[in-house]
Amino acid sequence: MPDPAKIIIDTDPGQDDAIAILMALASPELEVMGITAVAGNVPLELTARNARIVCELAGRRDVPVFAGARQPLRRRLVTAEHVHGRTGLDGPVLPDPTMPLDPRPGVGWLIDTLRSEPRGSVTICALGPLTNLALALLKAPDIAARIGRIVLMGGAYFEVGNITPAAEFNIHVDPEAAQVVFRAGVPVTVLPLDATHKALVTGARNDAFRALGTPVGTAVAEMTDFFERFDLEKYGSDGAPLHDPCVIGWLLRPDLFSGRSINVEIETLSDLTRGMTVADWWRVTPRPANAFFVGDLDAAGFFDLLTERLARL
Ligand code: RIB
Ligand code: CA
């Protein structure tokens, strides 16, 4: 990656999205060109609000935040207040944003930016349902050849689903959008539950956030405390899986992650398995590889990186 590497973050904050945004803003290797909000964990008004709250928490009112799609391409919006709370950012008490939303529509800004930046120079970090990205690709198919890479949190294979037995939330919310993205011919890296379920915020890791003794460290500790209660009850795991920051972690230190290039197709027809990522991990079909699918990570190394970056804010 060039240094700094230009990235666009497409997101539905969500506590884990918020921590991913903070990690990106704290990393000099990355230039966050803008943040496009999408409906997902909570409705669009809240994800667009939360993205600005996080930028202001990081002292980065300069980063433009745009509102994107308020509902999936074809389906009724499914949200996740049961995980993220009513606001989508429950846990810390953070002030309302004072920075304005950029008035340009997020999908239009995505298209214009990708058309004006040098071909292949922009990476898209997708942390929520893929509605914005799919709309941009459908409206302007020429941008597919201009996107450097899409690095997304979504899907699952050996870990199966977290919102249904078959599907991970981001893909489940808008399976048609995911199908557009995976079939667009853009280089894609997938951070699925197979990886993110190994990125658990243990008590010691949460303590390390709090020990930073900064407003960011304390807010992150309070976010993960809140986020954890759902996962603890559901998985009985030793801490909440920190899904979205794995996207930024892979960008910064791909050596901390491992996976393989395989074919990934999206189930869009069955009500029972809608949004399942049918990952040909064992390459048992002739379907061509269209994604680098991450299966494992060095969790200790990842949390050391995350904590070190948060300490810079
Ligand atoms: O399944 C986890 C994903 O769904 C994360 O991106 C989380 O923020 C929610 O959007
Ligand atoms: Ca998310």
Ligand with smallest separation from the Cα of 10: 2
Please report, rounded to a whole number, the percentage of residues in the chain having pLDDT higher than 70: 97
pLDDT value of residue 79: 95
pLDDT value at 164 more than 90: yes
Higher pLDDT, 166 or 3: 166
In the residue annotation, 197 being an active-site residue is answered as no
What is the tens place of the pLDDT at every residue in 99-156? Answer: 999 999 999 999 999 999 999 999 999 999 999 999 999 999 999 999 999 999 999 9
Confidence of residue 239 (pLDDT cuts 50, 70, 90): confident
Cα-to-centroid distance, 140 and ligand 1 (Å): 26
Strand duo 291-297 + 188-191: pairing:
parallel
Mutation pick for ligand 1 pocket among 10, 17, 44 (CB with most ligand atoms within 8 Å)? 17
pLDDT value of residue 232: 65
pTM of the predicted structure, to 2 decimals:
0.97
